[in-house]
Amino acid sequence: MGSIDFAAGPAARPTRAQLSSQHPGTLARALPWLAVAAAIAAIAWVATGGDALVAALAFATLVAGLALAGLYGYGRGMAAIHAAVRRANDGALEPVTLPGLSRALVGPLALEYNVLARSLGSLFRDMEQAQLAIIAERNRHEAILQGLPGALLVVDGDFRVTLSNREAEALFGLPSQEIAGASVFDLLHSDETGREVLREAFLYEQQVSNRVIALAIGESERQVSVNLTFFRQSPEASQASAAIVLRDITEWKRLEDMARQAEKLVAMGQLAAGVAHELNTPLGTILGYAQLLNEGRASEEKRAEYARVIHGETRRCARIIDNLLAYARRDACHAETCDINGLIREAVEAVANCQGRRHCVAVETDVQGELVVRGGPGQLDIVLVNVMINAVQAAAAVPEPRVQVSSRSEGGSAVVSITDNGPGVPPHARGKLFEPFFTTKSESAGTGLGLAISHSIVTRIGGGIHCDPAYEGGARFVITLPLAQ
C-alpha cells in the first residue's frame, strides 16, 4: 500500500469505510501467515514420517519468527510515526511513509496521521494568510491615522484617550505614552464656550462638525477646528466611544484676518480714487467760475449765471457725498415691511412725471393686489427709482422708447422686473454693474453709485438684484425680495 499524497486537496481525504476496507484487522492480516506456517508444519510432519513433535516444533518456530517479524515491523512503524509527531511539534508537518511489513501493521494509523497533518497544514496556511491580511490592514489603518492632517484622539466611555497619532503629539507637545490614558478634558483646556460645546457633545452624544474653539496649549492660545463623532465598540456596549479630530487653524485665521484687512485697504483705496475722480470735475468747474466771478469783469447777468453753475456743481458734490455715505452705511436690520406693489405705483408715477417726460419715455406697470415684503419703504423706494431712471435713460436712445415694470409672487419671494427696449448691457460690463463708480454713461450723466447702493440695500434684507443675461431686445433687471412672514 502506498503513502498518502500530502499535497492532495480535501477531496482526496479517505473516509472511515475506505480505511477499513484498505486495512483489514490484525487477525485477518495474520491468517495468511498462520496458514503458511501450518502448511510448513504439515510438510515437516510428512517428511519425518509423522513425527508430531518435529511438526509442532517447526510450527512453533515459524509462529515465533512471524511474531518477532511482526513486532519488529510494528516497532519500526510506530517509531516512524513518533518521529513524524516530533517533527510536527517543531512545526514541520510531513507525511509518514511506511515500508513493507510496517505499512501492513500500522498503515491505518499512519494514514490517519497523514490526513490529520494535511488538515492541520491547510488550517495553518489559512491562519497564516489571515494573520498577514490582518497585519497588512493594521499597517494600512496606522498609515491612514498617522497621515491625517489633524490631531486624532480616540476616547472611551470614561473620557480616557485610548489612541492618538503624531499630529496629536505635536499639537499638545506630549509623547504618546503620556497622552494615552489621559482625560480628554485635561488635554483640551478651552474657554467656557469650548467647554460647553464638549460637555453638550459628550452628554447627548451629539456630532460636532468644524466647530472652532480656543484651546490653551502651553503658554499660547490656539484656534482649533473640532470634528467629533461617536461609535460603539460592540452592540452590547452601554457607553459610546468618540473619535475627535483637531486641526490647528491659528495661522489660517491670522492669514484670513490679514486678507480681510488687505481687502478693506483695497476698498478704501478704490473708494478714495472714486471720490477723487467724481469730485474732481465739479470742483474744477466751481474753481473756474469762481475765478471768473473774482475777476469782476462779467456783467450782472453773467455773474448770476456763474453763480447758478457754482450752485449746481456744489449740489452735485453734496449728492456724491450723500450717495457714498448711503453706500458705506450698514444700518441695523429693522423688522420693517411694505407693500411693494403700492411702492412700485408711486415710484412709476414719480419717474414718469419727471424723467419720463424729459426723455419722452412711456413707463408702463403690470402690478395687481398687494405683496408685502421685508424692508422699509424709504430704502426700497431708492432701489426702484434708481433702476427705473437707468431704464428710462437707456430707452431714450431708441425711436420708440418704453419701460415696463411688473411684479409677481414666486415661492417665498416677490420678483420685480424692470424692462427697457434700449441698447442693452454689453456682456463685458455685466460683471461690473454693481461695483461702485462703474458706469456706462458719460461722466456728466451718472456717478456709478446708483446700482451699487441698490445692491447694498437689497442684499441687506436678504434679497437680490441682477441683470437677466438671457433677455434680448434691451435690458431686464430682476429684483428679488423676501416676502414678509
* Interval 87-138: pLDDT, tens: 877 778 788 777 765 666 677 777 887 888 888 888 888 999 999 999 999 8
Res 304 pLDDT > 80: yes
Res 86 pLDDT > 50: yes
Last residue of a domain, one of 218, 248, 278: 248
Res 402 pLDDT > 70: yes
pLDDT-derived band at 7 (thresholds 50, 70, 90) equals: very low
Last residue of a domain, one of 72, 96, 126: 126
Q: Give the single-character DSSP code of 32.
A: H
Instruction: Count CB neighbours of 433 within 10 A.
Output: 20
Q: What is the CATH number of the domain that holds 270?
A: 1.10.287.130
Q: Is 53 exposed, middle or buried (0-12, 13-18, 19+ CB in 10 A)?
A: exposed
C-alpha cell, 188: 483640551
CA-to-CA distance for 123 and 130, rounded, in angstroms?
10
Q: Are residues 47 and 109 in the same domain?
A: yes
Q: Give the single-character DSSP code of 233.
A: S
Q: Are residues 122 and 20 in the same domain?
A: yes
Q: Are residues 347 and 465 in the same domain?
A: yes
Determine the 3-state secondary structure of 416 from DSSP.
strand
Domain count, the chain: 4
Q: In sequence order, what E strands does 313-380 have?
A: 337-339, 362-366, 372-374
| Residue 65 is assigned to a structural domain of this protein | yes
**How, if at all, do strands 402-410 and 362-366 pair?**
parallel
| Residue 171 is assigned to a structural domain of this protein | yes
Of the two residues 159 and 59, the one the predictor is more confident about is: 159
Q: Are 431 and 467 in contact (CB under 8 A)?
A: no
Q: Residue 78: its pLDDT value, please?
A: 76
pLDDT tens readout for residues 246-284: 999 999 888 988 888 887 677 666 666 666 656 776 787
Of 387, 359, 384, 357, which Cα lies nearest the Cα of 373?
384
Res 68 pLDDT > 70: no
Last residue of a domain, one of 231, 248, 265: 248
Q: Are residues 341 and 478 in the same domain?
A: yes
pLDDT-derived band at 23 (thresholds 50, 70, 90) equals: very low
Q: Are residues 29 and 71 in the same domain?
A: yes
Q: Residue 228: its pLDDT value, please?
A: 93
Q: Are residues 305 and 188 in the same domain?
A: no
Q: Are 451 and 386 in contact (CB under 8 A)?
A: yes
| Residue 39 is assigned to a structural domain of this protein | yes
Q: Residue 101: its pLDDT value, please?
A: 58
| Residue 395 is assigned to a structural domain of this protein | yes
Res 292 pLDDT > 60: yes
In sequence order, which residues have a C-beta less than 8 Å from that of residue 91 and are 6 or more positions away? none
Q: Residue 226: its pLDDT value, please?
A: 93
Q: Residue 35: its pLDDT value, please?
A: 56
Half-sphere exposure of 224 (CA within 13 A, CB side): 33
Q: Residue 416: its pLDDT value, please?
A: 95
Res 404 pLDDT > 90: yes
Write down the pTM of the prediction.
0.44
Q: Are residues 240 and 271 in the same domain?
A: no
CA-to-CA distance for 153 and 137, rounded, in angstroms?
20
Q: Which value, to the nearest 10 degrees, does the dihedral of the CA atoms of residues 324, 326, 329, 331 take?
A: 180
Q: Are residues 212 and 176 in the same domain?
A: yes
Question: In this prediction, what percent of the chain has a pLDDT beyond 90?
Answer: 17
Question: In this prediction, what percent of the chain has a pLDDT beyond 70?
Answer: 75
Q: Residue 476: its pLDDT value, please?
A: 93
User: In the sheet that 362-366 helps form, which strands lie side by side, from edge to edge?
Assistant: 362-366, 402-410, 413-420, 475-482, 464-467
**What DSSP assignment string belongs to 159-209?**
SBEEEE-HHHHHHHT--HHHHTT-BHHHH--B-HHHHHHHHHHHHHT--EE
User: What mean pLDDT is predicted for residues 420-431?
Assistant: 85
In sequence order, which residues have a C-beta less than 8 Å from that of residue 232 and are 6 or more positions away? 240, 241
Q: Residue 271: its pLDDT value, please?
A: 64
Q: Are residues 341 and 425 in the same domain?
A: yes
Instruction: Count CB neighbours of 333 within 10 A.
Output: 11
Q: Indicate the residue type of 89.
A: N
| Residue 344 is assigned to a structural domain of this protein | yes
The whole domain housing 469 covers 337-482
* Lowest mean per-residue pLDDT among 69-78, 86-95, 212-221, 238-247: 69-78
What is the overall mean pLDDT for the chain? 78
Q: What's phi and psi for 484, nearest 5 deg?
A: -70, 140
| Residue 136 is assigned to a structural domain of this protein | no
Q: Are 41 and 56 in contact (CB under 8 A)?
A: yes
Q: Are residues 103 and 165 in the same domain?
A: no
| Residue 1 is assigned to a structural domain of this protein | no
User: What mean pLDDT is predicted for residues 214-225?
Assistant: 87
Q: Are residues 473 and 350 in the same domain?
A: yes
| Residue 142 is assigned to a structural domain of this protein | no
Q: Are residues 237 and 115 in the same domain?
A: no
Q: Residue 473: its pLDDT value, please?
A: 85
Greatest distance between any 2 Cα atoms in the chain: 186
Res 420 pLDDT > 90: yes
Of the two residues 249 and 440, the one the predictor is more confident about is: 249
